[in-house]
Amino acid sequence: MPKEHPHIVIAIDGPAASGKSSVARTLARKLRYVYVNTGAMYRAVTWLALEKGVPPLDAGRVQQLLHFTEMECGVRDGESTILLDGVDPTPHLVSEAVNGNVSAIASIPDVRRLLVKKQRAYAFDYDVVMEGRDIGSAVFPETPYKFYIDASAEVRALRRARQGLQDSITSRDKQDSTRRASPLIIAEDAHVIDSSNLTVEGVTGEIFGRLKQKGLPLGEL
């Protein structure tokens, strides 16, 4: 880790509906680290653009919108929060409209630059479990604690359906993996876990084992 980030970062990346949110949240609670959901940050910007009538494919206008919006990223009850001009967009972040447009917004380099800065800022103040697509590969490439959680396409589609969410995960994954700016890739030194046949506890247990091996002090866990 660079000296300016003295805190511990556990990076959890993977495609949509791979189970990484439940795992990252559970891990953070057990370790008493802050859980940072970076997907929520890209979703929040997407919601803002849709709300303001800015086309998600118009990078210039999205950038301008962000320039004139105050974004506050904080922590509440051990989890990351976001306010846009004082408004908490959380209730709107998993709407069909946001699901359908977030990958376009996330492919805009200026959006990524701004959000990555906010993501790195968390590690100035807290030990974090941060989940996303590029945390191990681009946001904190120096952290030795990198995990990539995958699951078969069938299992992932089933998980989304069970959540009752309209989400074209195949098209999102394709856009996220093929974009030019920090695409979804498996970092070279990431530990890959296929969660298709594992419970959240099963995946978290495997991660704890790996963290222990790497010498992270875990106390009684």
Distance of CA 167 to the CA centre of its chain: 16
CB 13 within 8 A of CB 190: yes
- Establish if 100 lies at the interface with ligand C5P (CB under 6 A): no
- Establish if 126 lies at the interface with ligand C5P (CB under 6 A): no
Q: How far apart are CA 214 and CA 125, in angstroms?
A: 23
The residue among 43 and 159 lying less far from ligand C5P, judged by its C-beta, is 43
Rounded to the nearest whole angstrom, what is the least distance from the CB of residue 113 to ligand C5P in the complex?
12
Rounded to the nearest whole angstrom, what is the least distance from the CB of residue 187 to ligand C5P in the complex?
12
- Establish if 23 lies at the interface with ligand C5P (CB under 6 A): no
- Establish if 141 lies at the interface with ligand C5P (CB under 6 A): no
The residue among 25 and 172 lying less far from ligand C5P, judged by its C-beta, is 172
The residue among 37 and 204 lying less far from ligand C5P, judged by its C-beta, is 37
State how far the alpha carbon of 162 is from the alpha carbons of 12, 19, 131, 157, 167, in Å. 23, 13, 21, 9, 12
Q: Which of residues 58-87 bind ligand C5P (CB under 6 A)?
A: none
Per CB under 6 A, the list member of 132, 136, 147, 190 interacting with ligand C5P is 132
Judged by CB under 6 A, the stretch of 25-33, 39-47, 80-88, 144-152 that binds ligand C5P is 39-47
Look at residues 111, 127, 91, 102 and name the one whose alpha carbon lies nearest to residue 5. Answer: 127
The tally of CA atoms less than 13 A away on the side-chain side of residue 73 is 22
The residue among 181 and 216 lying less far from ligand C5P, judged by its C-beta, is 181
Rounded to the nearest whole angstrom, what is the least distance from the CB of residue 60 to ligand C5P in the complex?
19
- Establish if 149 lies at the interface with ligand C5P (CB under 6 A): no
Q: Which of residues 155-174 bind ligand C5P (CB under 6 A)?
A: 172
Residues that bind ligand C5P (CB under 6 A): 16, 38-39, 42-43, 102-103, 106, 132-135, 172, 176
